[in-house]
Amino acid sequence: MSSKPDSRPLSPYMLGPYYRFQITSLLSISGRLTGLFLAVVTLPVALAWLLALAAGPDSFATVKALFSGWCGKAVLLVSMLCLVFHTLNGIRHLAWDTGKGFEMSTVRASGWAVIIGTFLLTALAWWWAS
Ligand code: HEM
């Protein structure tokens, strides 16, 4: 009998010291969480802004003041990060739907492109909007 440790793959449910986080699972979870955040926070915020705009200058000034404080700005920044990430990751998913980009090296490269692109585009949009 060999004393070599068993090298069969472990179940991903064995978290903690056994499960190594991978860019594929990280982006898959983030795609879902950002979709949820966009639906529950960003869309209602955009709707409130549009309604205030339609209701007149007083309502608009109130909503504008609300989103000028640090808390409002944090919501806008996270919304922007989520929207850019979800869009880039969504484009990656749509490319997969055409049957392309499934080689592991391409999957990892497109994943990093999504992460780097998210921070670059968000920084650019934030700078442009400020
Ligand atoms: C405010 C706008 C948006 C909202 C509220 C939204 C919301 C969501 C939600 C809730 C999901 C389901 C996540 C899950 O699997 O549980 C989803 C998936 C998806 N979204 Fe969006 N989304 C938005 C914008 C976009 C944009 C602009 C794109 C552009 C490419 C996009 C592409 C996708 C794709 C391809 C999926 C499926 C991903 C998968 O198969 O895992 N979404 N979205």
CB atoms within 10 A of CB 115: 16
Mean pLDDT for the stretch of residues 56-68: 96
Whole-Å CA distances, 85 to 19, 29, 32: 25, 12, 11
In a domain, 3, yes or no: no
Mean pLDDT for the stretch of residues 116-122: 98
Higher model confidence: residue 38 or residue 8? Answer: 38
Ligand 1: does its nearest atom lie under 6 Å from the Cβ of 31?
yes
Ligand 1: does its nearest atom lie under 6 Å from the Cβ of 39?
yes
Residues 77 and 82: their CA atoms lie apart, in Å, by: 9
Ligand 1: does its nearest atom lie under 6 Å from the Cβ of 26?
no
Phi, psi of 11 (to 5 degrees): -65, 140
Identify the CATH number of the domain in which residue 103 sits. 1.20.1300
What's the predicted TM-score (pTM) here?
0.87
Q: 38 alpha carbon to ligand 1 midpoint, in Å?
A: 9
Asked whether the beta carbons of 72 and 66 are under 8 A apart, the reply is: yes
In a domain, 18, yes or no: no
Ligand 1: does its nearest atom lie under 6 Å from the Cβ of 114?
no
